[in-house]
Chains A and B, each alone.
Chain A
Amino acid sequence: MIITKKKPFETINESIKPFKRVFIVGCGTCSTVCQTGGEAQAKELAERIGGKCAGYAVVESPCDMRVLRRDLAPKRAEVDSADAIVALCCGAGAQSTADFTGKTIIPGLDTLFIGKIERIGSFYERCRACTDCIILETGGICPYSRCAKGLLNGPCGGQVQGKCEVGGYQRDCAWVLAYNALKKQERLDVFKKYRPPADRSRKPQEIVTR
């Protein structure tokens, strides 16, 4: 799931000042689960904005152009009447909405990470979209997202009793977790294996199947 957090209302309110009318697009998937851009949050924001708000729609998944087209169709008049859109969704959803509507997009949320949800309020980063998943070798623990340094060959000197120096020894050291998991699986040979430098060139990704 894409984990997001709300921008302060004051920030959004400041951003919408230059515009006459704004329309709000929420997200029925990730932002609904995070309680940052679901029905309740879109409605609440619409009420706080007041007269300037042309309306709102919670699009099932605003990162999908096909779904945007489907879910915004009934609100076409309201969308057309607005000169800017407040997007209560992740960066991907916000940019897809911009592409679809051709209007100025005001991000209403900050996108944090791809993560695991335990309950509302407990979100854990679990993936950096590194393009080359190695968790089979690391006991199911992703070092790119869970090691503060993204190291590939075991913990650094900053772990103390399995806790990470970053953030004051609160979070678990990903590499100690990986070691313990592999030990339990009797696969420590995998831990000891040397992992050579990864391709970290990370160019913008586009997949277009023709």
Chain B
Amino acid sequence: MREAFSRLISEIRSGKFVYTGEIAPGKTTRVETLIESAKALGRHVVACNVTDNPRARANMSSLAASIAVQERAGVEAICQMTARDRNRIALTSDLLGASALGVRNVLVMSGDHPSLGDNPSAMPVYDLDSAQMVELVRRMVDDGTDLAGNRIDGKVRIHVGVTGNPNADPLEVEIAKLERKAQLGAEFIQTQAVFDIEVAERFLEAVDGFGIPVLIGILPCRSSRIAEQIAKNVPGIRVPEEYLGMLRGAEDLNDQASVEERVDLMNEEYFSGMVSELRRTARLAGVHIMGVAYGRIVGRIADGVERKMSCRVR
């Protein structure tokens, strides 16, 4: 087995159920908000994803933000790296920098197309795809070379994860792709947001034979308006009517303060119920909790899952 360089991988290997969170650096030169969010999340998660220009919007570099999060918030980063903006020279260079400065996990993905972003005329690079980025990391870590075989001075200490989409339709193409990435040496999968337990179960069953730990992604929404927007604007995610109905039900109150509490409670119940049920029925390494300005829910869901699991054991 490969050496473990990060807390994320060590804890997964020890059999501990892990929680990861996510923060998005903005189009800003200020890191304070980012550090505060990371600190708050850090109390509940083993590591925190730092997004790489999501929806192709030019924001603060995910690598710079990952280093800030690790050094100033003391939270381990999972640095997201897309193939969209950098060719193999720049990717290799950033991976060397990441390893040198202590970033131990990267999550590779192709990245939303520039035409969807805020600089729509930008050149889409995609010199490599996400499978080839897995190969790049493996070559750097395992062989000590770049893709062209040039030797690297010093050891590269990085784990490489990949994304999967349980909502993908057709799902079989997605699974074939993940199988290839697992064979290439990807070390963990974090998934797109899942709201539906059956969707998650079907996916976990399909990837079960690949021998790669899976963190199912969830996306608790702090209002029905946000959930509706996600359902409408992120076609890769399916938001079931049942979830929307429960959110609307929780919001159906005049007192704003208690609406917030009811929505939080509803999300805690819904997702901790789903995750603890998945832990019982499938092989699941952890859960990746995303959210749109909803950091406060992360701890509640994590605690809720642990409570439900310990009740079950007793």
Contacts and interface: CB of A to CB of B under 8 A. Distances in A.
Interface string B111-123: 0110110000000
Interface stretch (B25-33, B65-73, B173-181, B219-227): B173-181
A175 B88 CA distance: 22
A37 to B, nearest CB: 27
A156 B173 CA distance: 10
Contact of B124 (A149, A153, A160, A176): A149
Contacts of A115: none
Nearest to A152: B129
A194 B110 contact: no
Contact of B176 (A156, A158, A179): A179
B95 to A, nearest CB: 15
Contacts, number: 92
Contacts of B173: 154-155, 175-176, 179
Interface residues of B, number: 37
A151 B126 contact: yes
Contacts of B235: 160, 165, 169
Contacts of A167: 115
Q: Give the one of A148, A149, A152 with max B CB within 10 A.
A: A149
Q: Give the one of A156, A161, A166, A175 with max B CB within 10 A.
A: A156
Contacts of B124: 148-150
A188 B177 CA distance: 12
A165 B132 contact: no
Interface residues of A, number: 30
B121 to A, nearest CB: 13
A167 B114 CA distance: 11
B192 A197 contact: no
A197 B127 contact: yes
Contact of A153 (B87, B129, B172): B129
Given A150-B126, A175-B173, A176-B173, A166 B115 contact: yes
Interface stretch (B163-171, B204-212, B247-255, B279-287): B163-171
B113 A158 contact: yes
Contacts of A191: 176
Contact of B165 (A148, A157, A176, A192): A157
B180 A157 contact: no
A154 B126 contact: no
23 contacts: A148-B113, A149-B126, A152-B129, A152-B131, A153-B130, A154-B173, A154-B176, A154-B180, A155-B173, A155-B174, A156-B109, A157-B165, A158-B112, A158-B113, A160-B236, A162-B169, A167-B115, A179-B172, A194-B184, A196-B132, A196-B135, A197-B132, A197-B147
